[in-house]
């Protein structure tokens, strides 16, 4: 499966938000490869093996996985206002996805250089 196939299978009510999220990832994560792993889109730094960013359509929400602890720590104040698990930022309403925050997280991940993914 590729990401286009993944998106084609997403319910229409969430597809627009996920297409926008993918475009944002492709724009901001230069030097990363887009793959499907664990059944979802994952972004791996070129030459790396570990995903640093991933996203998925879940039953109840859109998930954005921020797999870099250093970036999560740097954005702790902004993430505190959201539904955030250990590495998973959840948006129950596709119309309320915070694309400004996601852009900032993607930029910080791209700038961070190689590091530990959780």
Taking the CA of residue 30 as centre, how many other CA atoms within 13 Å lie in the half-sphere pointing to its CB?
2
Residue 16: inside a domain:
yes
What is the spatial distance between Cα 7 and Cα 20, in angstroms, rounded to a whole number?
A: 11
Residue 107: inside a domain:
yes
Residue 117: inside a domain:
no
Residue 71: inside a domain:
yes
Give the model's confidence band at 112: pLDDT under 50 very low, under 70 low, under 90 confident, else very high: confident
Which pTM does this prediction carry?
0.92
Number of domains observed in the structure of the chain:
1
Find the domain containing 104 and state its range: 3-111
Residue 116: inside a domain:
no
Closest CA to 66 of 105, 34, 103: 105
Q: For residue 93, give the CATH number of its domain.
A: 3.90.1150.200
Residue 40 has pLDDT above 70, yes or no: yes
Give the model's confidence band at 49: pLDDT under 50 very low, under 70 low, under 90 confident, else very high: confident
% of the chain residues with pLDDT over 70? 96
- In this prediction, residue 1 carries a pLDDT of 87
Residue 25: inside a domain:
yes
Q: Residue 64 contacts by C-beta under 8 Å, 6 or more apart in sequence? A: 21, 53, 54, 55, 88, 89, 90, 91, 102, 105
């Amino acid at each position: 499966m590729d990401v286009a196939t993944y998106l084609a299978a997403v319910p229409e009510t969430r597809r627009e938000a996920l297409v926008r999220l993918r475009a944002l990832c492709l724009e901001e994560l230069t030097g990363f490869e887009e793959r499907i792993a664990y059944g979802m889109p994952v972004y791996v730094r070129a030459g790396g093996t570990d995903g640093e960013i991933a996203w998925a359509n879940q039953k109840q929400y859109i998930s954005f996985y921020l797999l870099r602890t250093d970036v999560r720590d740097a954005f702790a104040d902004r993430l505190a206002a959201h539904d955030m698990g250990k590495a998973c930022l959840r948006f129950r309403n596709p119309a309320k996805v915070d694309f400004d925050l996601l852009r900032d997280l993607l930029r910080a991940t791209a700038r961070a250089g190689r590091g530990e993914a959780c």
